[in-house]
Structure 1
C-alpha cells in the first residue's frame, strides 16, 4: 500500500512528516512557501492519520515513507518532521543515511525516551478520557497541551479537527497492530541536522532536543522562545524562513 500523499513544486525533494497530533494538513502553511522557494515538496499521512487507513498488519512507518520515495522516483530527500514524525525521520536517516540530504526536526519525539512526569500525566489523562468515551475531552486536552500561546483560534480549530479525525479512525479499527520495532543507530546519521525546540513545550521534548544535539554530529539546536509544540502551525511567518534558510545551506540541486 502506498500511503496518502500530495506533491507540489519542482527541484530538490523535501519530505514533510507530520506530528501524531495532526496529519499532513498541518503543513498547509509550508507547502506553498517551500515549493515557491524551489523545492519539490512531498507530504504524506502516516498509517491511521488523514487519508491513510489504519494498518491491517504489523507496520513500519519509516519503510512506508521510503517506499513512497521509491514510488515517486526520489533517490535523495531532505526531511522536515514534527514531533512523532521526527521519530520516523530519525529512523529513516539512520537506516538509509545516503538517501537523506538534510534533517530538520521540530519538537521531535525519539525512540527509547522514558516519559517524564509531565508526559506521563498527559498520557494518563488522555487514556482516562478515551476509556470514558469522552473523545471531545481527549481532543481538547491535546489542543491545550500541544499548542503554544501564539496559536490563534483558527489554528486551534485546525488541530482540533485533525486530532479528532485521528481518534475516530483509530478507535474504529477492528484490530490494532503494533509497529515493527527496529534498532536505529543514530550514530549512522550523516545528514546535517537542525533541531528546533519550543520554550513552551513539555519538558520531555525540550530534553530530547538537547540529547539529540549532543548525539548527532553536525547538528545544531535552536530553541524558540515563543513556541509550544507545533511551531510550524503557531508562527509559520517565523518558521518558514528558518526552514528555507536551512535548506539553502544544506541542500544542493
Structure 2
C-alpha cells in the first residue's frame, strides 16, 4: 500500500484529506471528537507526505485520488463521507469524478473548483525553485503567513509553530511534486452539477487564499449543498477553530448517515 493512513473509532466512514504542505497530523485537533461521535475516521497522508511513499515527479490530483481510493477500499468501507481541505478538496473533486459511488457525502473546506490561473501557476513554479534550492523550510516564511488568519497569528503562536514544524518535516520532492500537480489540475467546475450526494462547504471567514467567493461558487454549482463560515479562521479552518469545525462536520455526518 503506497499510502500510509491512520484509523480512529468505529461506525460510518469519514475520510479526511489534508491540505498542502502538511500531512495527516493536521487533523489531530479533530479526529478524537469525530470518532467519539460514532464515526470511523480514516486519515491518509497524501502521496509523498508524512509517512506515505513518494510518487512521480508530478503528482497529479487524480494520482492522489486513486491512491486514496485504494486506501479507503482496504478499510472495507463501501461508502464514505469525504472531507478535503484546500489541496485535499482538489483531490476530493477528482475522486468524485472517478469514483462517485464511493461517496455518501462530501465536505469541501477552504478550496476551489477552478484550475490555476497563469499567475498562480507561475507562483507555484517559483515556489518549486525555492524549495529545490532551500528545502521545505522556505515555505514557512514565504507561504504560511498567508494560510492562517490575523486572529490566529495574534492569539495562537503554538499553532503557527506546529504548522511550521509539520511543513519542515515534508520531503522537498513531495512538495514539488504536489505543486506541479496542483498547477496542472483540470478545472472541476464542470462536474459540480453532476454531484448527487449531500455536500457542505466549511470556510474560514478570514481565508485570503480561497475566499468566500470560491465557497459561493461551489454552493451554487452543487445542488444539495450548504455553507458554514467560521469566524476568526483563515485557510486552515479545521486547525484554527477546531471546536466550530468539528461541530459543523459532525452535524453534517449525522444528517447524511441518518438519511442513508
TM-score by length of 1: 0.85
Q: Is the 8 A contact 1:150 1:235 kept in 2?
A: no
* SS at structure 2 position matched to 1:188: coil
Distance 1:206 1:115 in 2: 21
Q: Is the 8 A contact 1:94 1:187 kept in 2?
A: no
Q: Is the 8 A contact 1:17 1:81 kept in 2?
A: yes
Q: Is the 8 A contact 1:97 1:188 kept in 2?
A: no
Q: 1:132 to 1:111 in 2, by over 3 A?
A: same
Q: How does 1:59-98 map to 2 (within 5 A)?
A: 60-98=63-101
Moved more, 50-59 or 205-214: 50-59
Distance 2:244 2:122 in 1: 31
Distance 1:97 1:55 in 2: 24
Q: How does 1:88-167 map to 2 (within 5 A)?
A: 88-114=91-117, 123=124, 126-127=127-128, 129-130=130-131, 133=134, 135-151=136-152, 152-167=156-171
Cross-structure match for 2:47 = 47
Moved more, 122-131 or 224-233: 122-131
- Give the CA RMSD over aligned residues: 3.0
Q: CA deviation at 1:170?
A: 2.9
Distance 1:206 1:160 in 2: 25
* SS at structure 1 position matched to 2:134: coil
In structure 1, runs of 5+ residues without a counterpart are none
TM-score by length of 2: 0.83
Offset from partner CA, 1:111-155 (integer Å, 9 cap, x none):
524367xx5796476456436527534222222110113431221
In structure 2, runs of 5+ residues without a counterpart are none
Q: 1:182 to 1:197 in 2, by over 3 A?
A: closer
| Number of equivalenced pairs | 249
Cross-structure match for 1:170 = 174
Offset from partner CA, 1:28-84 (integer Å, 9 cap, x none):
011110110000110001112111122147751111111112211111001111110
Offset from partner CA, 1:146-190 (integer Å, 9 cap, x none):
0113431221111111212225353799xx986896786333211
Q: 1:80 to 1:133 in 2, by over 3 A?
A: same
Distance 1:136 1:29 in 2: 23
Q: 1:113 to 1:11 in 2, by over 3 A?
A: same
